[in-house]
A and B are shown apart, each in its own frame.
Chain A
Amino acid sequence: MLETSALTIAGKTFSSRLFTGTGKFNAAALMEDALLASGSELVTVALKRIDLGGKQDDILSHLNHPQFSLLPNTSGVRTAKEAVFAAQLAREALETNWLKLEIHPDPKYLLPDPIETLKAAQELVKLGFIVLPYVHADPVLCKHLEEAGTAAVMPLGAPIGSNKGLRTRDLLEIIIEQSKIPVVVDAGIGAPSHAAEALEIGADAVLVNTAIAVSENPVQMALAFKLAVEAGRMAFEAKLAPTKNFAEASSPLTAFLED
């Protein structure tokens, strides 16, 4: 079988381009099975859900596999100041300096705050964190974050949890074109076809949670996403044939030149 190229973020190599979340599952054991089936190597966990003090945490105990690297996230914080504080706690409790930076002061649609996110990213990079910020599909913001030293950018495809797919596709394409750091499409990916689409247009990876956790069969859905991500990446590397609106059997407009 043909191998696709590996993804490297901040010096760490991932053979899977499917990142996963740990929320919304109906049992920690099922979450574990689904994440194992997904082949995911980077798994994000919400600080608010885990017991930062004890080592007996139910979620963490089910993520204790060598292939899983943990990506703590700051879901719930509303300001840069809160994010920096939470990041430091995460680093201490989980012994990783990787961080999914998410600041959404709006608890209704959980949309990321670009101003606070940039401020926090600048601060966290100085503090030695490997920062993966969750942001709007805003190409200018993504360049600012890149310049601030984030390890990747994670623009949203659609509002988080909406399962609506790549509603921001035009902007994602600009971000992918311009970015010197990996682009991970986060939020809104509701079906394996959406994930494949993201990889086909050149996204380096996707992060999927709701679509797997809330499906009737999370293990099977996780596998479906794994295959879709592999297919999408393979297609990207094989270079998709250009799309055409009509057949080009002859050249009626320029044929006279050959006469």
Chain B
Amino acid sequence: MFKEVFDQHSWEEVKSSIYAKTSADVERALAKEKRALEDFKALISPAALPYLEQMARLSQAATRKRFGKTIQMYVPLYLSNECQNICTYCAFSLDNKIRRRTLTNAEILQEIAVLKQMGYDHVLLVTGEANHTVGVPYLKNAIELVRPYFSHISMEVQPLYQDEYEILMAAGLNTVLVYQETYHQDNYKIHHPKGNKSNFNYRLATPDRLGKAGIHKMGLGVLIGLEDWRTDCFYTALHLNYLEKTYWQTKYSISFPRLRPIEVGTIDNTALKSFATYMSDKELVQLICAYRLFNEEVELSMSTRESEKFRNHIIKLGITSISAGSKTNPGGYAVAPQSLEQFEISDERSPQEIAQMIRQQGYEPVWKDWDHALEISKKL
């Protein structure tokens, strides 16, 4: 279990070793063909910032070699904003007085119709955590409902048990995203004071449960802005390293959702205003390139949280998938477009506009890259 690896790395020691990296460490890391965790530390350290252009060049070449000149397209479908957790940064937090909605079958179908019109074939189902109303039976039903329309179904919901994942995989689930939010064990409790989500260790073991269930792909990440991003992203890399060796038949992707100052203003909660660190655009590029130089095979995913300009330029630097035209409120595409979004998106261009932008950069937007036909549940 990852916990054993995790316990061997103290936050403070990791943090100080990252900040102690020198330009010599960075140059050594850049010169290597295969890079280890210590090299990753150097590449995310402040010492690597002057090497950004070189990192970007290497990242671009490595990404093209593995993924070609293609970018995968996906879109989130929010099914519910009911949530029993308090998360200090989230609009769906239990203590936030908003109208709660969980989509019915008819409403899900209405939303799907819009997504299909946009051209999507890969959907990401998203919910809060409300186990009584949005538990495994609800999720299984939703997966069965959307399956005929999409060749790749991803899910980002509360952590589940292994047997529950197996049930959903048999129903057609291909990928699960589960972000640790932060690997800072003490402060995790401050960001997640109430609800099942406040159990750090249960969340930390989720990728192990997914791996044991034999999931096709899983997505990792931290919420950048909660704690020191460099340290948190080192733990993400450490986690990835462990998972690749342990659950070697599973594919992995990494996301890097960044808390933005603009989100603070949208929710009436003072705790939101004190991010531990603010990550600049330059640092986000550094992180993306560092992930790529550390691991040439991992998928890197970019959401609509980022600005138009940033997304235009990041296409060529190492990412492999992108969402577009996203709504982060249940019913946002057709049923209830006016309801409160989980987070404010920055890039409001339509999927077709994004696809056009990708083509203009000399890349091909890929809508379909999986097929249910290729996956037979272990249980059959």
Contact = CB atoms under 8 A, between A and B. Distances in A.
A98 to B, nearest CB: 18
B364 A76 contact: no
Contact of B368 (A25, A51, A109, A163): A51
B116 interface: no
Contact of A213 (B68, B249, B362, B376): B68
B364 A49 contact: no
Interface in B167-184: none
Interface in A45-59: 47-52
Interface in B229-273: 244, 248-251
A61 B363 CA distance: 19
Given A49-B366, A79-B376, A163-B65, A105 B371 contact: no
B249 A78 contact: yes
Contacts of B68: 23-26, 210, 213-214
B70 A26 contact: yes
Interface in B334-380: 359, 362-364, 366, 368-371, 373-376
Interface residues of B, number: 27
A107 B249 contact: yes
Contacts of A26: 68-70, 362-364
Sort chain A's interface into a size bin. 20 to 34
B15 to A, nearest CB: 29
17 contacts: A24-B69, A25-B69, A25-B70, A26-B70, A26-B362, A26-B363, A48-B369, A77-B374, A77-B375, A78-B249, A79-B376, A89-B373, A105-B249, A108-B248, A161-B66, A162-B65, A214-B68
A41 B333 CA distance: 45
B296 to A, nearest CB: 9
A161 B65 contact: yes
A26 B374 CA distance: 24
Nearest to B66: A161
Contacts of A214: 64-65, 68-69
Most central of A26, A81, A161 by chain B CB within 10 Å? A26
A185 to B, nearest CB: 19
A54 B374 CA distance: 17
A27 interface: yes
